[in-house]
Amino acid sequence: MREIVLDTETTGFDPFSGDRIVEIGAVELWNHMPTGETYHVYINPQRSMPAGAFGVHGIGPDLLEPPQPPGPGAVTLKDKPLFAKVGQGFLDFVRDSTMVIHNASFDMKFLNAELRRMGLPELPMAQALDTLAIARKKFPGSPATLDALCRRFNINNANRVLHGALLDSEILAEVYLELIGGRQPDFGLATNTSTTSAGAQEDWRPAARPVPLKSLLTEEEQAAHDVFVGKMDEDALWKA
């Protein structure tokens, strides 16, 4: 089962009044486990950046009125692509997978407003899974913000000084796994099938990555490993 944990950053609260998306971040899960595949893009909103929104995410000092010089690590937006250049790529990444979003109605209205401007198919709300609604149902009366859930589940969010779509997606993926029961919520010995978000069963098999992950071994470590394996018997597993 493939799921996409997703977050956006915007210029404000209302796409119907001219607010736009400035960042999209998403991480891929297979059977509730991160695969390492991500999607991340900054977007030129073709409008100014309100000071209130800038105070939340710190993106786009060059779009403030008056513009501010970017500080260390600041992201400017005038040189970033328009949504029209990245919209199809975003749809290609999401496909028909369930989108796990905190306060899904907010992000979905922005995403669909952008897709509508391009004449692209909108994403159905049924494709979104709202972790805010799950948290409120599971912990009624308790704070259900992402920071509050990180405190509840003892998830380290020390790097979350400002909102950022990719970082928030990575944190939300951890929160989501805790909300549904931990890192192996569907673990069982009596079945060899998995259940999709729509309730249908599929016979899932792991597929090879189209592009292998880059090795983290240094050349010295690889050479030392080869020498170590070379000293083993010919029937050793590492020589298979």
Binding site per annotation, positions: 7, 9, 57, 168
32, 40, 163, 225: the catalytic one is 163
Maximum distance among all alpha carbons in the chain?
71
Ramachandran angles phi, psi of 200, nearest 5°: -85, 150
**CA 204 – CA 189 distance, rounded (Å):** 15
The per-residue b/e assignment along 77-87, b for 16 or more CB within 10 angstroms, e otherwise, is: beebeebeebb
Separation between Cα atoms, residue 115 and residue 90, nearest integer Å: 10
163 assigned to active site = yes
Residue stretches of the annotated binding site for substrate: 7, 9, 57, 168
Give, for 167, the enclosing helix (H) or strand (E). helix 165-179
Q: What are phi and psi of 124, to 5 degrees?
A: -70, 140
Candidates 21, 29, 98, 102; CA nearest to 57 is: 21
Binding residues for a divalent metal cation: 7, 9, 168
DSSP assignment of 74-130, as one string?
Answer: -B--TTSPPHHHHHHHHHHHHTTPEEEETTHHHHHHHHHHHHHHHTPPPPPGGGEEE
By annotation, the residues acting in catalysis are 163
